[in-house]
C-alpha cells in the first residue's frame, strides 16, 4: 500500500491542478458575474460599487463552490489481483493508484471524497493516507459495490474490471443513480485479457471461483473471445449511459496518468442532459 500511496501522489501531482469550481453562480468566494437586480430580491445583494457607475442596479454573483461529495469505489475482489507478464501492475494496484490520485485531486479541489461502504467522506488534505488506511483495513469485496442510492448531488466513481454479468452491472448502476446521482465507470483490464495470447494445451482457472476450463488449442478461440469481450464492454457502456453515467477503459500496460486525466475531466464536465 505505501508504494501505491506514493505512486498515487506522484500521479496526482502531475495532473495540472486548476479544474475546480462548479462553473455556476452560487455561494462562494470567487466572483462569477454581475447581473441586473430583479425587484423582490433582498436589497443587501446589490453591489453598490458597480451600481454607482451606471443607472441600473447590479447584483454581484459568486461562483457556486458548494463542497461536493465524490464516492469512490475500488474493486478489491480476487480477480483484480491478476497481473500478466505484459503488465506493470496488477489491476487492483492500478485501480488503487488511480482512485487515490483522484481522491487527492478532488480534495485539493475542495471536494469531499469517501469510499463507498468505508466510512464518511473526508475533505482532509491527507485524503490519500486516510483513504489508503481504510482500504488496507477493509476486507476483500465482491465484484460490484453494495448498491444503495447516492444523494442527488453526490457523484460515484466505480473503478474495477466489471467482469460481472452485464445485467448485474446495469442493476447496480441503476440503483446507485436512483436519486439522480451522477457517476463514472472506469474498467481496468490486463493486456492479456484483451489480446488472449494463449496457445498450446492450457487450463484456465477462475481466480474468484472454482471454475476451470482446459482448452487444447486456445489460439483458435482468439477471434471469438475478442467478439465476446467487445459485446460485454458495449453492454457495460450501455448500462452506464442508461443512467447518464459515463464510462472509460484503462489497460494496465498504459500509464495511469492518462486514465486519471480523463476521469478528472469527466467529473468536472457537465453532462449532457444533467439535471444540475
Partner 1 sequence: MSALPFAFLSPWLLAGLIVLPALYFLLRMVPPRPRSVHFPPLRLLLDIRSEESAARTPWWLILLRLGMAALIILALAAPILNPAPPVAPGSGPVALLVETGWASAPDWPQRVEAIESEIIRAETAGRPVALLDLGGGPSDLSITTPAGAREVLRTLAPRPDTSRPADHLDRITAFVREHAATEIVWFTSGLEARGGRAFAEGLAGIGNDSRVAVRVPARTTRALAGADNTPDALTVRVLRGESAAGESGSVRAFDLRGRPLGDTVFTFPDGDLQTTARFELPLELRNDIARLELADGRSAGGVQMLDERWRRRAVGLISGATADTAQPLLSPVYYLSRALEPFADVRNAAGGSASESVSTFVEDGVSVIAMADVGTLTPDAHDRLLAWVDNGGMLIRFAGSRLAAAEEDDLVPVRLRRGGRVLGGALAWSTPQGLGAFPPGSPFAGLPVAEEIKVNRQVLAEPSPDLAERTWAVLSDGTPLVTHRRQGTGTLVLFHVTADTVWSNLPISGVFVDMLRRTVALSGDAGTADATAEAGETAPATLAPTRTLDGTGAFRAPPPYAKPVPATGLPVADRDHPPGIYGPPDGFVAVNALEADAALARLDLDGLGVEVRSYVAAEPEPLAPWLMTAAFLALLADTILVLLLSGRMPRLRRAGATAALLAGAFLFHPVPGHAQEDKEMGAALTTRLAYVVTGDAEIDRISKAGLEGLTFELAARTAFEPGEPVGIDPARDELAFFPVIYWPVSESATTPPAETLARVDAYMKRGGSIIFDTRDAPFASTAGAANGALRRILAGLDVPELQQITPEHVLTKSFYLMSGFPGRFNEGPLWVEAQPTAEEQESGEADLVSSGDGVSPILITSNDLAGAWAADDQGRPLLPTVPSDPRQRELAYRAGINIVMYALTGNYKADQVHLPALLERLGQ
Q: Is 216 in the site for partner 1 (CB under 8 A)?
A: yes
Q: Which of 138, 153, 229, 235 binds partner 1 (CB under 8 A)?
A: 229
In degrees, rounded to 5, the angle at the alpha carbon of residue 88 between the alpha carbons of residues 161 and 230 is 35
Tell how strand 112-115 and strand 69-74 pair up.
parallel
CB 205 within 8 A of CB 101: no
Instruction: Give the residue among 27, 31, 34 at the shortest CA–CA distance from 65.
Output: 27
Please select the residue that binds partner 1; options are 126, 201, 234, 270, rule is CB under 8 A: 201
State yes or no: residue 235 binds partner 1 (CB under 8 A): no
Binding flag, residue 79, partner 1 (CB under 8 A): yes
Cell of 122: 473526508
DSSP state at residue 44: G
Q: Is 33 in the site for partner 1 (CB under 8 A)?
A: no
- Is residue 232 a contact point for partner 1 (CB under 8 A)? yes
- Minimal distance, residue 209 CB to partner 1, in Å: 8
Asked whether the beta carbons of 260 and 98 are under 8 A apart, the reply is yes
- Report how far Cα 143 is from the mean position of its chain's Cα atoms: 16
Instruction: Measure the CA–CA gap between 193 and 225, rounded to whole angstroms.
Output: 9
For residues 65 and 237, which CB has a smaller minimum distance to partner 1 in the complex? 237
CA distance 113 to 131: 9
Q: Name the one range near partner 1 by CB under 8 A: 98-106, 109-117, 123-131, 197-205.
A: 197-205
Q: Which one, 163 or 240, has the nearer CB to partner 1?
A: 163
CB distance 239 to 170 below 8 Å: yes
Residue 190 in the binding site for partner 1 (CB under 8 A): yes
Q: Does 208 participate in binding partner 1 (rule CB under 8 A)?
A: yes
Q: Is 202 a binder of partner 1 (CB under 8 A)?
A: yes
The residue ranges that bind partner 1 (CB under 8 A) are: 79-80, 82, 91, 161, 163, 165, 190, 192-193, 198-209, 211-216, 221, 224-225, 228-229, 232
Amino acid at each position: 500500500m505505501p508504494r501505491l500511496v506514493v505512486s498515487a501522489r506522484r500521479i496526482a501531482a502531475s495532473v495540472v491542478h486548476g479544474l475546480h469550481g462548479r462553473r455556476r453562480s452560487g455561494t462562494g468566494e470567487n466572483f462569477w458575474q454581475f447581473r441586473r437586480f430583479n425587484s423582490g430580491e433582498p436589497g443587501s445583494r446589490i453591489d453598490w460599487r458597480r451600481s454607482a457607475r451606471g443607472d441600473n442596479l447590479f447584483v454581484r454573483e459568486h461562483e457556486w463552490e458548494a463542497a461536493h461529495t465524490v464516492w469512490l469505489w475500488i474493486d478489491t475482489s480476487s480477480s483484480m489481483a491478476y497481473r500478466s507478464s505484459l503488465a506493470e501492475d496488477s489491476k487492483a494496484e492500478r485501480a488503487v493508484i488511480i482512485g487515490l490520485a483522484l481522491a487527492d485531486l478532488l480534495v485539493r479541489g475542495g471536494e469531499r471524497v469517501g469510499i463507498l461502504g468505508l466510512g464518511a467522506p473526508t475533505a482532509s488534505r491527507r485524503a490519500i493516507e486516510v483513504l489508503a488506511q481504510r482500504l488496507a483495513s477493509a476486507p476483500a469485496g465482491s465484484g460490484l459495490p453494495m448498491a444503495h442510492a447516492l444523494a442527488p448531488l453526490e457523484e460515484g466513481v466505480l473503478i474495477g474490471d466489471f467482469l460481472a454479468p452485464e445485467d448485474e452491472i446495469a442493476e447496480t448502476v441503476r440503483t446507485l443513480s436512483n436519486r439522480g446521482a451522477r457517476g463514472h465507470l472506469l474498467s481496468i483490464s490486463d493486456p492479456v485479457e484483451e489480446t488472449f495470447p494463449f496457445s498450446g494445451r492450457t487450463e484456465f482457472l477462475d481466480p474468484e471461483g472454482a471454475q476451470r476450463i482446459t482448452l487444447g488449442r486456445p489460439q483458435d478461440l482468439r477471434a471469438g473471445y475478442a467478439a465476446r469481450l467487445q459485446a460485454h464492454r458495449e453492454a457495460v457502456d450501455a448500462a452506464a449511459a442508461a443512467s447518464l453515467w459515463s464510462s472509460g477503459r484503462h489497460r494496465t500496460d498504459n500509464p495511469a496518468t492518462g486514465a486519471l486525466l480523463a476521469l478528472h475531466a469527466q467529473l468536472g464536465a457537465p453532462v449532457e442532459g444533467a439535471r444540475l
